[in-house]
Structure 1
Amino acid sequence: MSECTHDCSSCAQNCASRTAPQDLHEKLNDLSSVKKVIAVVSGKGGVGKSLVTSAMAVELNRRGHKTAILDADITGPSIPKAFGITERAKGNEFGIIPETTKTGIDIMSVNLLLENTTDPVVWRGPVISGTVKQFWSEVIWKDVDYMFVDMPPGTGDVPLTVFQSIPLDGIIVVASPQELVSMIVSKAVKMAELMNVPILGLVENMSYFKCPDCGKEHKIFGDSHIDKIAAEYGTRVLAKVPIDPDLAKSVDTGTVELFVGDWFENAANTIEDELKV
């Protein structure tokens, strides 16, 4: 039989010469300490993944945990803007120093390295994937209890790189109510199962709009399918987040740390219960 010529780290072939699975995780910086890592994923763009990432980091930070965000959405970074960070990240001979928000959340994003935040990142896949690995291995993450990884949408290069290179303790899948999203969410959930990463639960964003005058809830994007999807895959719904102009404004103005809402309390409880630090 001929020798295996495949790259087993990314190959589905069941070759006879294949050995035990390799550990492809990148090594943390020697000065770093990260206890738990949670990726926030979605099957498609525009569902509010960065909002959920930001809100989860803020909620757990308010509970006394040291939180951090690794912005893995290299071509569409939005985390720094949500927190009002405009300074560029710095480094020394030991590594890259993440920027810290007003309430103490550490953040690393490609927009903290660009001369102008509006400059496009026109890079090919391998370079983008390499940058994500560097954000894990070359940034000095100090005493982090919970790190959230804001992922780009879909199941392509960067999500695969994160799943293989960073030791994830779980993922949160973000969706919106449209019927089409049911199929897209299923893709993200199946990818997590394929990579043997626990699914902590689903978050439905833009679930409804509550009229400020009469209090009635309006389902702008149609009826929700999130409970059915959760039951199908044996997981749970962590939150149903409404369309809230004040929440959207807080992200746009860089004041997400000041917004007060209880929609993410159940999600934070689940993380504290299942991923104790």
Structure 2
Amino acid sequence: MGSCQSQQCSHGAGPQEEKSKEDIQLDEQLKRIKHKLLVMSGKGGVGKSSVASYLAVGLSKLGYRVGLLDVDLHGPSIPGMLGLRGMFRVDPDENLLIPHKYNDFLQVVSIQCLLEDSDAAVIWRGPVKHGVIKQFIAEAKWGDLDFLLIDSPPGTGDEPLSVAQMMPDAKAVIVTTPQEVSLADVRKSINFCRKVNMPILGLVENMNGLICPHCNKEVPLFGKGGGGKMAEKMGVHLLGSLPFDPRVVESADIGKSLLEQTDDSPFLKALGKLIAEVVSRSGIQQGGTVQKEAGAADTLSDPQSFKVAIPMAGGALTNHFGHCEQFLIVDVQKGVIGNKETITPPPHEPGLLPRWLGELNVNLIIAGGMGSRAIELFNQQNIKVVTGAPCLPPEELIQQYLANTLKTGANACDH
């Protein structure tokens, strides 16, 4: 990866040759990214970066392969919010920057992870910013992605314009709060997108009321419903409204997303609906009800009576199937959840888990993702496999499965 702190990259080639090579790399990488979402706002302080990070983590927990690119070059905050520390490494064979890994399905690139001093001021003009953003896309080892979320700085300056020029198929997610001063700036963001022919996926109304932790009453800190009215007036889709939750601020300060917890708070409920709306509006086929993977057992002998294994972390399903720390084994008889047992699996070896779970008389697995070879091995054990399941508590997953309402997304590990 060339140095991002110089105005011109140099790998020993002339300017025209280098430009051509970089443009080819850019085109090749963009072809491997299905959906590009530019998260932007008309002004600062509306929680744009928080929305970007929560969308990225939430999508990754559904098993989608996600990249999060922080192009707020003067005020990067994504690494701190996600607890990512240290400088980037470079792949010596391909000379590509290796993004930081938040989890197995989320990679992050930010200028902050290229600065030895995190407090250093980045003083760059527009052309340099454009070149750095191009390098972050073309010369980072992203691989195949379902989503690339780009967190841009507030306003309609160089960074969002560069993204619009590089990614003609990108769509905008515009973040606002209900108060009028924020909505006035949002109108400028909407008009910017229309000026550069960038489709708008929708508007997110953030901090839409505080649920008092003492009396459970809603307090309209920044007004109420202004985002919905603005969306209707400007002809933009309202993706969702997120209530103000002080824990979002606290979790950002310690670098740990609230999505690593499991609760039924108004914020996480609203966030779940928002993420589902983003997926739906992006045109991804989620499959409606449970999908059968190729090679998997077709049916259970009794669809209301079975023994199911669910890979667990923090009280909910985890996408780390082959390397999860614990499995929850649950007996279901005639549609009623019975005995539950948490078991630590044996050390991971190829082909071991299918035999081990078969010996435990498991005949159903609900997972976020699984490789095709593993699915074949489970099929040989006559164990049905459901992949693409959301990261929900096990009882909820089982109840949805029994009711044939379990929504599944992409197989989080389809190799």
In the superposition, the TM-score normalised over structure 2's length comes to 0.58
Matched, 1:75 2:74: yes
Query: Residue in 2 aligned with 1:143?
Result: 144
AA in 2 matched with 1:67: V
Compared CA separation, residues 96 and 198, structure 1 to 2 (3 A): same
Flag the structure with more relative contact order, 1 or 2, with Cα contacts below 8 A and sequence separation at least 6.
Answer: 1
CA distance in 2, matches of 1:96, 1:103: 17
Structure 1 unaligned segments of length 5 or more: list them.
1-24
For the 8 Å contact 1:66–1:146, the answer to whether it is kept is yes
* Other structure's SS at 1:134 match: helix
* Other structure's SS at 1:162 match: helix
Matches within 5 A, 1:61-100: 61-92=60-91, 93-100=94-101
Query: Residue in 2 aligned with 1:258?
Result: 260
Compared CA separation, residues 107 and 141, structure 1 to 2 (3 A): same
Instruction: Give per-residue Cα distances to partners, 1:110-159, cap 9 Å, x unaligned.
Output: 01111121222122222122211111111121121111000111111111
Query: Residue in 2 aligned with 1:205?
Result: 206
AA in 2 matched with 1:268: I
Query: Residue in 1 aligned with 2:102?
Result: 101
Instruction: Give per-residue Cα distances to partners, 1:225-269, cap 9 Å, x unaligned.
Output: 111111112222222212211121111111115145122223322
Query: Residue in 2 aligned with 1:169?
Result: 170
* Other structure's SS at 1:262 match: helix
Matches within 5 A, 1:175-254: 175-254=176-255
CA distance in 1, matches of 2:197, 2:233: 18
* Other structure's SS at 1:146 match: strand
CA distance in 1, matches of 2:169, 2:157: 17
Query: Residue in 1 aligned with 2:46?
Result: 47
CA distance in 2, matches of 1:221, 1:103: 37
Instruction: Give per-residue Cα distances to partners, 1:190-248, cap 9 Å, x unaligned.
Output: 11112222111111111111111211101112343111111112222222212211121
CA distance in 1, matches of 2:128, 2:206: 31
- Give structure 1 regions of 4+ aligned residues with deviation exceeding 3 angstroms: 29-32
* Other structure's SS at 2:97 match: strand
Instruction: Give per-residue Cα distances to partners, 1:43-90, cap 9 Å, x unaligned.
Output: 111111100000001111111111110111011100111111102111
Compared CA separation, residues 235 and 146, structure 1 to 2 (3 A): same
The percentage of aligned residue pairs carrying the same residue is 37
Compared CA separation, residues 259 and 148, structure 1 to 2 (3 A): farther
What's the Cα RMSD here? 1.9
Matches within 5 A, 1:264-275: 264-275=271-282
For the 8 Å contact 2:168–2:198, the answer to whether it is kept is no
For the 8 Å contact 1:37–1:147, the answer to whether it is kept is yes
CA distance in 1, matches of 2:24, 2:207: 35
* Other structure's SS at 1:264 match: helix
AA in 2 matched with 1:51: S
How many pairs does the alignment contain?
253
* Other structure's SS at 1:106 match: strand
Please tell me whether Structure 1 or Structure 2 has the larger radius of gyration of its CA atoms: 2
Q: Given the alignment, which residue of 15, 26, 32 partners 1:28?
A: 26
